[in-house]
Chain A
Amino acid sequence: GAGVSQSPSNKVTEKGKDVELRCDPISGHTALYWYRQSLGQGLEFLIYFQGNSAPDKSGLPSDRFSAERTGGSVSTLTIQRTQQEDSAVYLCASSPDGGSAGELFFGEGSRLTVL
């Protein structure tokens, strides 16, 4: 597709289970970002990839959170042993190499609900 694609769009899980969230960036975009957004709030930075490398993982809330990117394309955000406070919308964005910093193209997000 032409835009950033995220899956699943909705995920309901039980506390303690692991979840994987997937992001397919726009083809050719080298930078990829993950953000978390709680209801009605701004975006909390989680992690940034340039190619397959993550220069800054400091936004990840705990060691239960991890992310990887393969082939300079698809990225997966994994949350282990989910907790209720992990409930939020997880947004992925990409931007092209050479584009202006901050000009991001977002997916529609994955809404995670932890019961």
Chain B
Amino acid sequence: TQLLEQSPQFLSIQEGENLTVYCNSSSVFSSLQWYRQEPGEGPVLLVTVVTGGEVKKLKRLTFQFGDARKDSSLHITAAQTGDTGLYLCAGARYGTSYDKVIFGPGTSLSVIP
């Protein structure tokens, strides 16, 4: 059972387009993180969202945490080729006795010049 689901699984867009990827769960999370992973490297943390309804912006990337803290979205404005990579959401489930951090299956983004 996948505790964190992501959609779409694959996304190929032209440079300059906007896109949104989603991370969903039936469980409540104390926080959610978004990571980006490039081939041959480990994931790199982009952002953490903690409060329900929170919106964070990182240059052209906008992250939102759902009011119920069960879902999150990542919106990229005017995508660039450098945005290409695997986007992973992750979180520690609310109420767990320790920080077991689980990951979603990822969205593979390809930005075509």
Q: Which residues of A contact B (CB under 8 A)?
A: 4, 31, 33, 35, 40-43, 45, 48, 50, 55-56, 91, 93, 95, 100-109
Contacts and interface: CB of A to CB of B under 8 A. Distances in A.
B42 A45 contact: no
Interface in B38-61: 40-45, 48, 50
B50 A33 contact: no
Interface of B: 6, 30-33, 40-45, 48, 50, 86, 88, 90-92, 97-106, 108
A9 B7 CA distance: 31
B48 A102 contact: yes
A95 B90 CA distance: 14
Q: 4 smallest A-B Cβ distances: which pairs?
A: A106-B42, A101-B92, A42-B105, A43-B103
Contacts of B102: 45
